[in-house]
Structure 1
Amino acid sequence: MSTLQSSNRIEPRLIIPSTKHDTSDNNPDTIIIAKLYTIREAITDRVEMHKNICEQRCQWNTMLLTSINCITLAAATITAIAITSTSPIFGLKLCSTLMYFAVTCMLVLLNQLQPSQLAEEQRNASRLFRNLLNQIDTTLSIGQPVSNSGVKMAMLSVLALDKAYPLPIIGTMLDKFPYIIEPAVWWPQQQRQTNSKIVLYDNRDDCDGWNGELEEEMRQTKSKIVNENRGDCNGWNGKLEEEMSRTNSKIVNENRDDCNGWNRKLEEDMREVAKILEKKDQEEYIRLATKALNLNKFLAVLGPVLTGLATIGSALVGSSRSWVDMIGVVPGALACIVNTMQHGGQVGMVFEMYRSNAGFFKYMKESIESNLMEKDVNKRENGEVFEMKLALKLGRSLCELRELANSYSSCKIEELDEFASKLF
């Protein structure tokens, strides 16, 4: 009986939900959507990772700053006691000297890592990954057709973000004190297609004095001579045909109706806005980032120098000269002030914020240029949607954005006091 009961007993099983997408029908659209969902899952995981590491590095900054300041003040207090003490002070001197030396080493490491800047990098990465995640969700929700090139671009965007904001510290950490300040770049750089015909001509070897470039010049010269000198045919000749073609093209471009939301006026406005973004906003934030970096460099050197002086001063306490005794106390107190200004004020975070803002304006400028470089208007992003997106990202209404472009076109950029962005 017991054997029968044991055989009929149902063993509990752990049911794990499957994350596989059904692609058994081998439908190309289904496979593309499955790839997009796979990228979405990877982005969701990265958002959580960068968020957790941001919190961790914020805690690093707080705990290390508090610990270093406490040890420094304790060492300064022990040194002051040793100065005023009449009993043997060797133990006090040794204790304060070791504490100052440990603080100096910790401070050098802290200034190299810049935890506040590390946290800002992860904060930016988390925000940008969420932005990419929202774009994918929007594409999936509205049922917009997705091609393999769209999936490839989404994957390249993920990899570009991984490169711009690396998670590890050892080996791949961004330089905290760069020699040249450049805007942050977190998007895949578009490879401009080169005319294969020109490349072939430029790289081909000479053959009996001829090369591709010379051949092309001869063809153009021949065509020009034929068009200008050929006889009239019913009042028409090559030169008149060329002039009429240019005139017709100009009239069509000036008076054409909107095509995919784009027209000649919108293209001109976008070009003006791109110039303002590059010459005003981007350069301004590079200038501010330079100031923040210089301040951070000065404080990063000053802090360890002060604690190093305090280390030497504490070791020399008890000498006949009173000013030597003061070196063991005063630099320690000043070092606490410097550390609080640098890491409590999060100067490294301010530098990274300015650098990211400059990168944002560079991204907007390149977005405008990439749309305008596309000759086929139907392959561009819809002009009305793009204009609205640009206005919202710059904190402006559509009217304000157009007024900005008009004001720039009517004056020199040096005379323009207004920036493109009103958000920051």
Structure 2
Amino acid sequence: MIIGVPKETYPGETRVALIPAVIPSLIKAGMEVHIESGAGAESGYPDSAYTEKGAAIASSRLQLFETAKIIVQVRLLGANPEQGKTDLPLMQDGQLIIGLAEALSNPHALRELNTRKVLAFAMELMPRITRAQSMDVLSSMGTVAGYKAVLMAANALPKMFPMLMTAAGTVAPSKVLIIGAGVAGLQAISMARRLGASVEAYDLRPAVKEQVLSLGAKFVDLPLETADSEDKGGYAKAQDEEFYRKQRELLGKVIASSDVVVTTAAVPGKKAPILITADMVAAMAPGSVIVDLAAERGGNCELTKANQTVVAHGVTIIGQENIPSQVPYHASQMYSKNIATFLLHLVKKGELTLNMEDEITRETLLTRDGEIVHSRVREILGPLAGRRAEET
């Protein structure tokens, strides 16, 4: 069973799907690993590091796709809509393609994969169950994004984070507000606290209050009622516009008094909710910083521009996408562990086993035999779910 690791083609994507350290465990399980030359170079993993661990370097991308039964990538076609199309002619019938697919936000890309009759798996749809924790890509990449977001904010803020008592006087700590206490938000809280900031955090899910307090931050309690604040996977659920209007009104004062705001609120498959309006930005002190981790979903701040840093009313708004690629060495290490564990779930003693009764397999499989088989994706596409790209 050959596993192929091609070089990523999405602009600015510096991660690699497998790093050398995981290869021995895959070989022990009866797999071979072939790497496209240079696939790990931008992450800090040269070809020589792969061959030392028993991997083979493919002579070309074409040869990699021709020989590998399973292709593992960081970004599949849905998450790489332009350059990803160049791989379509290389794919083989029945080949497994595994990676981040943006299946809920860009489901139409799956119809193009259907023309190749591949089995596509979306790592971002990994169920949040105990057995799948070591395969949870969103948590891994959220950890990296939360860490880096605080460093980006500290670099842009014209203040220091910690309280300092010096001969020149006392420096007050910066005030940091984290909106959204999921994995990224909790990591941002932890990082901001390490740097010495005074940290507050808000989340519409009351259950996370204990986690926020355990990290030494203050939990912002807002008098808002919601009967259903999270889905079965533990993610915050989308609310109606009236809820968000009241939320913005109550959060306004907290945001205005903050030096840094990091927003992380995203709902899978939907546009990110607007939590910070232009008027709220105008009420912040000049020099303040907003880091919008939901920029790829439209942004939590009304003034966010994807992949840009803008200054409005004296406030710096950072809308950088794909933040984990700014820390590619460790982001690849974490992603690789997720992928390798998933491969060991699918391949037993060198043989592929697809047990559709298993929740992990069922909830990540998108396409099979030219059909879209994932229930949530089919629901989004409606009648188009059964049609191939060339038929539309």
Higher-Rg member (1/2) = 1
Larger helix share, 1 or 2? 1
TM-score, with length taken from structure 2: 0.20
- TM-score (normalizing by structure 1): 0.19
- Structure with more contact order per residue of length (Cα contacts < 8 Å, sep ≥ 6): 1
